[in-house]
Amino acid sequence: MSGTDKTKTGLDLAGPIVILVEPQLGENIGMAARAMGNFALSRLRIVNPRDGWPNIAAQRAAAGADQILEQVQLFDTVEQAVADLTLLFATTARAHDQAKPVVGPEKAAREIVAHVGAGGGAGILFGRERYGLQNEEVALANRIITFPVNPGFASLNLAQAVLLIGYEWFKLSTGGTLPFAMPERSEPASQHQMQAFFDNLVRELDKAEFLRPREKRETMLVNLRNIFTRMDPTKQDMHTLHGVVMAIAEGRKGPAKGGVLDGEQATRLRALLAEHGQGPAVPGDSSTVRGLARLLRRNPTDAERILWQALTRDRRFAGQFKRQTPVGRHIPDFVSFVHRLAIELVNPNETEAIVADRAGRQAWLEARDYRVIEMRVADVERDLATELGRLEASLRDRG
């Protein structure tokens, strides 16, 4: 049930008794019980239900409010159901021309909270689906509750009426505490941080010649500043906005900023890693080596990007491969844990260190029942379909 967290303990509050008079449909009883459960009303009395009790339709409609239904009290008459109560409300959408106070749900809730808090017993009568409460039943009540609804369409569903009363009572009983709040934000940004960000923003806007014409520059700056001050930004907001401005201003300038490595650059980086002797995923690597490894992961070559897009979009392989994912202490270019198969891309003009490093990685993987497929970068870029066909055949053989 959406919104229900079964790990949390429900509230046990002393509240009014809900009394349903001759309800006709089990579904309405169940939905009324569900509405009660939403607002910690636990005591339900039913007077002469038309379809008898227990009622399987009520249990289905209760959507988890089983405990309320299990503790239902049955009565033959309204008089019996209200005999022990000292404050009784009757809900109705019609004027019964009886000389007794008529209140809305909020005022009724205030009286109930005070009365129950003083040790009294309170109850609320809800009438039949078709025609509500009869005059003699309303006459038993101390107060009449009615709702501010559209006079041309005043009839409420039974569960809706219970829900409205339950909400007002629960809100008063709990002080209106909400079940959750906005997560705590970082501390507010200082004026110094705001000014530093704004100076940087204006500098970049001037470079882009945004603040034109000159005679409108000051007005534009005031409007811009007001946009950010109205936000009540935090320190983290300022860091993020500053990063956004710089990313837009600088763009992707080279591999270190998320660009694409060409084959020669990738080969040089792989050679450095291979010469280190242990690959890019070893705990305790120097910061330089870890940085090179991250650079390779974040900046795929054209061939790696082409193959990765095919592996994620082609229905034959989608969801079966991961890119640059550690297998033990090694990181093959692509790996399928499902098929225990790794793909290694071979760049042209690789050094002996790279070749030896790949051979050691392949031996390690094959010793652990992985199959390793080598694909030449030139073949991937020239004829991807053939390489994918070869991969599909390998998966079939593996299966």
**How many distinct structural domains can be found in the chain?**
3
Q: What percentage of the chain has pLDDT greater than the value 90?
A: 41
Decide: residue 141, CB within 10 A, 0-12 exposed, 13-18 middle, 19+ buried: buried
* 371 touches 397 (CB < 8 A): no
Long-range contacts of 328-332 (CB under 8 A, 24+ apart): 328/364, 328/368, 329/278, 329/279, 329/281, 329/282, 330/279, 330/281, 330/361, 330/364, 330/365, 331/279, 331/280, 331/281, 331/293, 331/297, 332/361, 332/365, 332/372
Q: What is the CATH number of the domain that holds 156?
A: 3.40.1280.10
Least confident of 103-107, 163-167, 330-334: 330-334
Counting Cα atoms < 13 Å in the Cβ hemisphere of 161 gives 26
**Angle ∠(348,352,356) on CA atoms, nearest 5:** 105
Task: Examine the domain organization and report whether 285 and 384 are in the same domain.
Answer: yes
Task: Examine the domain organization and report whether 264 and 246 are in the same domain.
Answer: no
Higher pLDDT, 281 or 144: 144
Q: What is the mean pLDDT of residues 252-256?
A: 45
Task: Examine the domain organization and report whether 200 and 161 are in the same domain.
Answer: no
Task: Examine the domain organization and report whether 44 and 162 are in the same domain.
Answer: yes
pLDDT band at 173 (very low <50, low <70, confident <90, very high): confident
Q: Is 399 helix (H, G, I), strand (E, B) or coil?
A: coil
Task: Examine the domain organization and report whether 113 and 197 are in the same domain.
Answer: no
Q: What is the CATH number of the domain that holds 217?
A: 1.10.8
Decide: residue 274, CB within 10 A, 0-12 exposed, 13-18 middle, 19+ buried: buried
- Alpha carbon of residue 320 to chain centroid: 26
What gap in Å lies between CA 398 and CA 343, rounded to an integer?
14
Which domain covers residue 149, as residue numbers?
A: 17-174
* Verdict on whether the full-model pTM lies above 0.75: no
Task: Examine the domain organization and report whether 343 and 361 are in the same domain.
Answer: yes
pLDDT at 295: 65
Report yes or no on 50 lying in a domain. Answer: yes
| Residue corresponding to tokens 């935090």 | 234
Strands, sheet with 334-336, edge to edge from the N-terminal-most edge strand? 322-323, 334-336, 341-346, 371-376
Q: What percentage of the chain has pLDDT greater than the value 70?
A: 83
Q: What is the DSSP letter of 301?
A: B
Q: How many CB atoms lie within 10 A of CB 378?
A: 13
Task: Examine the domain organization and report whether 246 and 268 are in the same domain.
Answer: no
Tens of pLDDT, residues 52-85? 888 888 988 988 788 899 999 999 999 999 999 9
- Residue of 84, 49, 50, 42 whose CA lies nearest to 67: 42
Q: What are the tokens at 117?
A: 């808090």
Task: Examine the domain organization and report whether 277 and 327 are in the same domain.
Answer: yes
Q: In the listed set 140, 174, 208, which residue is the last one of a domain according to the structure?
A: 174
Report yes or no on 170 lying in a domain. Answer: yes
pLDDT at 357: 84
Task: Examine the domain organization and report whether 152 and 24 are in the same domain.
Answer: yes
What gap in Å lies between CA 173 and CA 117, rounded to an integer?
10
Q: What is the CATH number of the domain that holds 318?
A: 3.40.960.10
Q: Which amino acid is at 234?
A: T
What gap in Å lies between CA 218 and CA 241, rounded to an integer?
22
Task: Examine the domain organization and report whether 302 and 377 are in the same domain.
Answer: yes
Tens of pLDDT, residues 282-332? 444 445 555 566 666 667 778 888 899 999 989 899 889 998 888 887 888
* 296 touches 255 (CB < 8 A): no
Task: Examine the domain organization and report whether 306 and 375 are in the same domain.
Answer: yes
Q: Which amino acid is at 40?
A: A
The residues, ordered by sequence, that sit 6+ positions from 388 with a Cβ below 8 Å of its Cβ are 310, 314, 316, 317
Task: Examine the domain organization and report whether 275 and 233 are in the same domain.
Answer: no
